[in-house]
Structure 1
């Protein structure tokens, strides 16, 4: 079968190519550039822990060496600290990394993949699709025609793929503008990020009175100054003055610390959302599908979630044909577009409150501390503005199940990363088993962590659960964990390949497990009917065996 064509060699396109290759799907990335990214210290991204785990799993590289994890975060208004956060193991810091270093790690990993290749200096200028595949043409020194099974547009805000498919891209232009500088210097907060609103010193030129300082490795900082609405020219002289005024104000003694200016720029934020993310065998992801970034939110984070969501669905369609998995591919738009739309809506609703100089802001109740907390959530990827979306209303959600119970993770949300015992008896993190195209079935079994797997793998509920997992309509891996937030002993979790919870069941219920797996794959099974391929008697014999001994029982109760 023809490879998947990915247009665009930014972080999203490269991540998608790696994710597909790891699931044995060949792909070619069309890169209109020369195959490397020029260093831009002022162009950085902030990524939450789960997205970092995705990238490290795909690249095999600990990205923390190239980026910086902050020790804390502080919010200030004038001279007063309004909020302080200290990061630790229970509340991990996000990763701040220069985008060219992230892209370099992805390119290096992709170069080691035999199923993937990057075609440099290949700019898309035409594409055609028919029921059996896609044909694309690129211009450049090696202009040619390419044949693919699917084509994914990861080619940024001015996406050629989106335009060739005549997909509308409505939204708002220039929602925010920031003057940006990367510099090497020493600040009073050596390893903490800072949001400073209404600083007590006067700044030259137009200013909206908000500065963000975020540290990088080797004493480098990225500073952002929010600009007022309009198209005022930001000159190099103005930026240098801003740097000096800010460093002097933060020094506390009236002096300007020494600094080395590395890079500058103006970052303009747009809010847009493509009307459609799929047209037959052509799909969109990343900035080609959506633009966001006001109030500290991160657009790249959402693009990487697009790639993670799409990869396992596209891999199934590639290996088994689009027919049985057409609904699965459709769910990509339904899930991801809804999640991004919710974040855009939240940001647009908060903008008048947080950025308005009067009007609504003067009438809305709530102290400035609440406004600063809302902005902090956007910067740190949490809360109303920043938290990743859940797929609660996904078309892949199973129907109501008799054995379904509530745990600390709601269906459709990302599962908590816990230690699990794999099938070979090794202890690994749950996130380490994601991205392989397999469903994960996790049994909560207190006591198993202190015993070797051979002592409990054939005891109690394990044989029956193993049989139910083997009978599922798709490849699945059985894992065991000592505990999971909000889950009691013998709880069985069904997890999608991208780490979102499908359902939690009270004990071993083969029929419910099978029905939930069918739904997660975009298929439907009539309630009460015996699913084709399900274990014999499953529909009627799926009673809970939560009271059985063995795995999940105390060690003294082992068979």
Structure 2
């Protein structure tokens, strides 16, 4: 079968190709650039816990070597500190265990370089530099893409994914509209090396008392005493010259430190936040992901974070189709799930922006308004709430019909599972999220006391033989795991988890027929008659 064609070799395109490779799917990555990444210290990205863990699973070494996890979050207003949160940024106990609540801050060129290095070591990925797409054709069996450049040629693939940014050529070739709002926010940026009073902590200062502070300034740490500073600018009209930006730097450092400390200015810039959402994310065998599908970023939200979630969501679905045959329900679910999640983000930001950025006396006088605004901004920057938390696919077309034995646990159906320690049938201990992204669903049995079982005999203990037989009979590959405990789950609870880590359903005990039906729905299959159940269900 032909490879998947990925257009664009930024973080989203590379993450998608690596995710496909982990699931045994080859890809061709068409890179418009020469293959290098120009260092721009002022261009950085913040990864939430789930996307940082995804990067580590994909072999991106730079997230540990060149990224910084925040140790705390401070929110200041005028001359006072109004909120402080401690974030646990201690070394993770396993290679892919993310620190809950601690975002990771990394230069974008370093992230891209780490992903390029990982892709270069993967035989299933072919990256083609200086290849600009100018034609895309589809038929019943695949897609054909033409590129121009030093080696202009035609490429044949099973599917194509446009990860080629805000000005996406793929989106334009597909005739997909990209409506939205322009210049939602503007920011001046400076990256510098200096000693600030809060090493390792991110700081958001609202209405700072110095002359050039503006409405808001944010400081986010990087390794080696490097900081990125962002000043919120008026939406229109203010020209940021090098002199005015240096004045902002000096005034801000003096306001925080009492005097202007020594500093090295590494890079500066101005960027504008746009909010846009493509009308469609799928056109037959072609898809959009990342900035090609959506633009967001106001109030501390992170567009790249969402682009990486696009890649994780789409990769396992393409892999299922590539290996096991077409499912329109499965492929359609990518747009249904991800577009709805981004639409919710944009809607929440648009609702909050008038109160947060509108100014006026009413905003100041409303009781508790300032505290509510602080919470909204904290959510956006830390990846919480409607502005930042990982999405819940509660109304997914892949959700199974309710079964009598389904029960509620601490994770809602459609939400990302909590990372817990698990044991595989071969006795290997790992973290649950270490097992994600391999093209298999996960079936997790909650069995207190697992840690003291003799691993030579545990597969024959208790419910394990029956559950193992049920898992082997599922309509798509699945891996059986056991955990000592899971939040909100009683002993003998069985969790069915999608390959991207979202919970499908939870069952009270081993219910082979209901487990089969849920797994079939989660792979986009037709709800076929339940298989014969040769023995009674076990609680």
Calculate the TM-score normalised by the size of structure 1.
Answer: 0.93
Matched-pair contact (CA < 8 Å) for 1:34–1:121: yes
User: Number of paired residues?
Assistant: 530
Alpha-carbon distance in 1 for matches of 2:219, 2:201: 9
Q: Aligned with 2:24: secondary structure?
A: coil
Q: Aligned with 2:491: secondary structure?
A: coil
Matched-pair contact (CA < 8 Å) for 2:214–2:232: yes
Alpha-carbon distance in 2 for matches of 1:82, 1:391: 34
In the other structure, the counterpart of 1:266 is 270
In the other structure, the counterpart of 1:45 is 45
In the other structure, the counterpart of 1:187 is 196
Cα distance change of structure 1 residues 249 and 362 upon mapping to structure 2, 3 Å threshold: closer
- Is 1:140 the equivalent of 2:149? yes
Poorly superposed stretches of 4+, deviation over 4 Å: 362-365
List aligned pairs for 1:469-548, cutoff 5 A. 469-525=471-527, 529=529, 531=530, 534=531, 536-537=532-533, 543=537, 545-546=538-539
Alpha-carbon distance in 1 for matches of 2:7, 2:362: 43
Report the CA distance between 1:133 and its aligned residue. Answer: 1.0
Alpha-carbon distance in 2 for matches of 1:453, 1:491: 21
In the other structure, the counterpart of 2:23 is 23
Matched-pair contact (CA < 8 Å) for 1:353–1:364: no
Alpha-carbon distance in 1 for matches of 2:454, 2:30: 48
Matched-pair contact (CA < 8 Å) for 1:51–1:301: yes
Alpha-carbon distance in 2 for matches of 1:287, 1:62: 22
Report the CA distance between 1:359 and its aligned residue. Answer: 7.4
Report the CA distance between 1:229 and its aligned residue. Answer: 1.5
Counterpart of 2:329 (choices 327, 330, 339) is 327
- Is 1:245 the equivalent of 2:251? yes
In the other structure, the counterpart of 2:452 is 450
Report the CA distance between 1:64 and its aligned residue. Answer: 2.3
Matched-pair contact (CA < 8 Å) for 2:291–2:307: yes
Report the CA distance between 1:542 and its aligned residue. Answer: 5.5
Matched-pair contact (CA < 8 Å) for 1:215–1:222: yes
- Is 1:316 the equivalent of 2:312? no
List aligned pairs for 1:61-100, cutoff 5 A. 61=61, 63-88=63-88, 91-100=100-109
In the other structure, the counterpart of 1:104 is 113
In the other structure, the counterpart of 2:95 is none
Cα distance change of structure 1 residues 460 and 5 upon mapping to structure 2, 3 Å threshold: same
Matched-pair contact (CA < 8 Å) for 2:427–2:455: yes
Q: Aligned with 1:97: secondary structure?
A: strand
Calculate the TM-score normalised by the size of structure 2.
Answer: 0.96
Cα deviation digits, residues 4-56 of structure 1 (max 9, x gap) = 11000000000000000111111010101010110011111111111111110
In the other structure, the counterpart of 1:557 is none
Cα distance change of structure 1 residues 319 and 455 upon mapping to structure 2, 3 Å threshold: closer
Instruction: Using the TM superposition, name which of 131-140 and 344-353 deviates more.
Output: 131-140
Alpha-carbon distance in 1 for matches of 2:420, 2:87: 19
Report the CA distance between 1:451 and its aligned residue. Answer: 2.0
In the other structure, the counterpart of 1:385 is 387
Alpha-carbon distance in 2 for matches of 1:139, 1:112: 26
Report the CA distance between 1:201 and its aligned residue. Answer: 0.9
Instruction: Using the TM superposition, name which of 261-270 and 363-372 deviates more.
Output: 363-372
Instruction: Using the TM superposition, name which of 133-142 and 348-357 deviates more.
Output: 133-142
Alpha-carbon distance in 2 for matches of 1:93, 1:303: 19
Report the CA distance between 1:362 and its aligned residue. Answer: 5.7
Cα distance change of structure 1 residues 306 and 62 upon mapping to structure 2, 3 Å threshold: same
Q: Aligned with 1:457: secondary structure?
A: helix
- Is 1:344 the equivalent of 2:346? yes
Alpha-carbon distance in 2 for matches of 1:523, 1:13: 28
Matched-pair contact (CA < 8 Å) for 2:101–2:382: no
Report the CA distance between 1:62 and its aligned residue. Answer: 6.4
Alpha-carbon distance in 1 for matches of 2:239, 2:454: 67
Cα distance change of structure 1 residues 91 and 313 upon mapping to structure 2, 3 Å threshold: closer
Alpha-carbon distance in 2 for matches of 1:16, 1:299: 16
Q: Which runs of 5+ in 2 are unaligned?
A: 91-98
